[in-house]
Structures are given as C-alpha cells and as structure tokens.
Amino acid sequence: MDAVKIGDATVTRIEETYEPNFDAARFFADWRPEIVEKHRDWMLPNHFDPKSGMIKLSVHSWLITVGGKRILIDGCVGNHKPRPLRKMWDMMNTPYLERLAAAGVKPEQVDIVMCTHLHMDHVGWNTRLENGRWVPTFPNAKYVFSRADYDHYLKLDSDPATGPVNQGSFRDSVLPVVEARLSQMVEGAHTVDEHLSLDPRPGHTPGTVAINLASRGQKALFCGDILHHAIQVYHPEWNSFACADQVNARKSRRQVLEDCAGSGALLMPAHFGAPFVCRVDHKGESFTPRFGA
C-alpha cells in the first residue's frame, strides 16, 4: 500500500524498516504455535517469519496531505541515534528523508508532526544530527504530543536513578523540539483542525493517543502502538511486553477496535505488516480484520 484516499485526504506510508525484528514469544506472552497454524493463511509471509520465530513489523510514518497541510504521524527511529539495547535500531542510516521526498514533501514543508506516544520508534525523526547537535528535522512544523507522556518521561529522565529514559530518545528526539519552542502539548481530547482530532487512549504509555482523520464522511484512525500486530485484532486481550499499564492497554485496544468497527474507520497502525492497514469487523464478541483499504 503506497497511498490511500480518505475523502479529500491522501495518506502515504513512509517506510523506515520492514523486517522480522522481535521474537514472537517474547513480544507476546500469550503467543503459541497453534495460533500461527490457525492464522497461517494471512500471517505468512507478511506478519511472521516461521524460520526465525520472529514477528515481522514495519516501522513507518504516515504522511497526510489535506486542506493544504502536510501532517506527519509518528517519527520512527531516526538516523545516527545510539540505541545499544536495540541492535537493529542502533546508529541507523536509512533513506527515510529520501522516501519522504519521493512522496513530494521536503522537511521544511511539513506543517504538523504528531506523535501517538513518546517511545523511541515514534519520535526519532523529530530531530536530526547537524554539526554535532540534535535539531528539529521539520523546522516549520508544530509538534503535537501528549502532555501526560511528556510529564511522565520528563520526571523519569530527570531522576538519575531512572534516566535517561527510552534509551536516550527523550533527550535527543523530544527535548530539542521543546527547547526550540516548536511543541504543542495537549491534554485530554483535542481537536487540531476540521480534519484531525486526538482521543486519549492510555495504557501502552500514560499519554498514548489515537489520532482521528475525517474528510467528506470517510474516516481513518491512527493507533500507534495501541495495536502492534494484526493478531491483536483477533486477540485484543494480548498485550506486548512494552505495555506499561496492562489493564488500560487492553481497555484502550478494545475501544479503538470498537470505534473502527462501529464507524467504518480505516485502522492505520504504526507497525502492521503488508498491506499495513485494515478495516475492522465485529465477529461475535470479538473482531476480525479486513485487510487493504
């Protein structure tokens, strides 16, 4: 999926990486081999690599063009960033900005950057390395993210016992944006403009938000890490190892799935494998994905 239309909006996936990258049984405590067999027809080869036992996750941003604005959702990992505890993300050097340019947008043309939460693989391209300093990649953009997440990580990062948090990404990918006075921190439900709004969906992190797009009666929902993998559509009770609040993560995941199933909104996750998006249908008390736009 290269681009999809939502009313007058065009949404384009900007890939950073797409590969088998996490051991499935470690990522999901509930993972079992029989689950793969049950869902083999859609899970292989785009969502799971049976040879390595790893789930295959994409790391990408979503570029929205609507109403004369260019909005980037979730900033991936970023280049040249030291992440020694995640070898696959350590000191990366990908053609992400070239892919953004191929979609017709230069960094200085981005109007809004929105972060569903402040984990390292969602904020990396907020900044880039210039003359030994981390500076905002999108100098003319307003960076919108949750105050709850910011306050949570600022407190942890400021404590020598817990900082630096998120493998240093708070310091190299969030604080420089705040210091440049480009951030807009929001609380609770928030309307950005006639097309975009945010709803608090805490659990994965304290300030995780779902981002809603609406245009001419059509809708999309950007869920960040509320769902990591398509198997969670079938099993919304499954949390990943990275979900901070297990109870609220499950509650928020089910709410997102209910929202999509009830409204017809296209679910646009940050990490699903190809085709990267899906519709959500009710199936009894649970849900089933309908892949593609």
| pLDDT for res 286 | 87
On the question of a cis peptide bond just before residue 45, with omega within 30 degrees of 0, the verdict is yes
DSSP characters over 101-138: HHTT--GGG--EEE-SS-SHHHHGGGEEEETTEEEESS
Give the residue extent of every domain in the chain: 3-291
The per-residue pLDDT for range 84-140, each reduced to its tens digit, is: 999 999 999 999 999 999 999 999 999 999 999 999 999 999 999 999 999 999 999
| pLDDT for res 285 | 80
| Percentage of residues of the chain with pLDDT beyond 70 | 99
The per-residue pLDDT for range 216-252, each reduced to its tens digit, is: 999 999 999 999 999 999 999 999 999 999 999 999 9
Of 3.40.50.300, 3.30.365.10, 3.30.70.1230, 3.60.15.10, the CATH number of 3-291 is 3.60.15.10
Query: Quick check: 293 pLDDT over 90?
Result: no
> What pLDDT band is residue 283 in, cutting at 50, 70 and 90?
confident
